[in-house]
Structure 1
Amino acid sequence: MPKLVKDGAIIDDQWALLAKPDTDADTVEVPTGAVIIPLSVWLAQKQHLSERTDVGVWIDSDESANDLAEDAKTLPLIAVNFPAFMDGRSFSNARLLRERFGFTGELRAVGGFIRDQLCYLSRCGVNAFRFDDDSVNLEEAKKSLEDFTEFYQAGSDQPTPLFRRRTA
């Protein structure tokens, strides 16, 4: 079974990731069991799928968290996809999900992100990391969550910037 880093621990990945459909999203058959579906499938089949507690949604970097909006609060898991490690749009989506839409479930990074980005992703609210490359040493990768101990800027994990914390 594939593994991932979640909340600083290495665990089995219980969720299957459904690929983007080549056909109309409303005709995609969503399997039973814990599954993460593309945003397009969720939007097309939301009325039917919103009754399930084992459905998560993944947002591609060219899609917006705004399209999920208030639905985010009802989902157990949302994944943000990184088609390449140089595409940072999913950082913004993660932060929007946590701060604007109040998502409190598992926020997972999937795709082509790299170990060096884990600390920054966690600052945006991501708490689970599923690498595309199964050869990544997860014990070493999770150490990246502690690359820095203090941050100047505010983040999802620390809403008050350093200059305000120093004067408090």
Structure 2
Amino acid sequence: MPEVISHDGSIRQDDWLVVARPAEGESLDIPAQQNALIPADLWVAGYEHFAGRADIGVWFDSHDEPEILADKVNELPVIAVNFPKFSDGRGYSIARLLRERFGYSNELRAIGDVLLDQLQFMKRCGFDSYALRPDKDINKAARCLNFFSQGYQAATDTDQPLFRRRAS
């Protein structure tokens, strides 16, 4: 079973299966007895069926808009954001919007092409769990999450820039 790393650096089993978007004309296939992350727009479309289920979370692709969940975000136990390639930074913006504008307070996970050198930046944007790319060593991730002791800018993890924190 794959593993994920939490924001505190601990490693745990990944209990969530990312369900791929079905091809056109096919239906969503959610495995029985398995926590599943389904495409966010399909969760919204099937809201009556999925609402209140603790075994269903959603995932966003980098081009998706988090506004589709607006007032429903905290009904979800896990929201994952896919990074299709390491150079695609739209997932950082999705995370900030979910945390800051929509007030999401449950687990926010980075999936896809997640590399070690991105972890601290993802953490500052509000992610609190990370499914690393399979060829990366998860045992090195804890060090990468806390490589810098302070961030200069305000972010999800602190609402004041460093110069204001130093002044007080």
Query: Could you tell me how far apart the structure 2 residues matched to 1:81 and 1:29 are?
Result: 19
Decide whether the 8 Å contact of 2:19 with 2:29 is kept in 1: no
Q: In the alignment, residue 117 of structure 1 is paired with which amino acid?
A: Q
Alignment of 1:33-52 (within 5 A): 33-52=34-53
Aligned residue pairs: how many? 166
Identity of aligned residues (%): 42
Residue by residue, what CA displacement relative to the aligned partner does 1:101-124 show, whole Å, maximum 9, x if unpaired? 111111000001211000000000
1:136 to partner: Cα distance: 1.7
TM value normalised by structure 2? 0.93
Contact 2:115 2:136 in 1 (8 A): no
Task: Please state how far the C-alpha of 1:24 moved relative to its aligned partner.
Answer: 5.2
Query: Distance between the aligned counterparts of 2:18 and 2:54, measured in 1?
Result: 15
Q: Which consecutive residues of structure 2, in runs of 5 or more, have no partner in the other structure?
A: none
What secondary structure, in the 3-state scheme, does the structure 2 residue paired with 1:139 have? Answer: helix
- How many Å separate the matches in 2 of 1:24 and 1:93? 28
TM-score if structure 1 supplies the norm length? 0.93
Structure-1 residue corresponding to 2:16: 15
In structure 2, what residue type is equivalent to 1:158? Answer: T
- For 2:147 and 2:156, the matched residues in 1 are separated by 17
1:124-165 superposed Cα distances (whole Å, 9 cap, x missing partner): 0001000232x3211112210011111110011111111211
Corresponding position of 2:146 = 146
| Paired letter, 2:159 | P
CA shift, 1:3, in A, is: 0.8
- 1:127 maps to what in 2? 128
Structure 2 SS opposite 1:21 = coil
Partners of 1:149 and 1:66 in 2: CA distance = 33
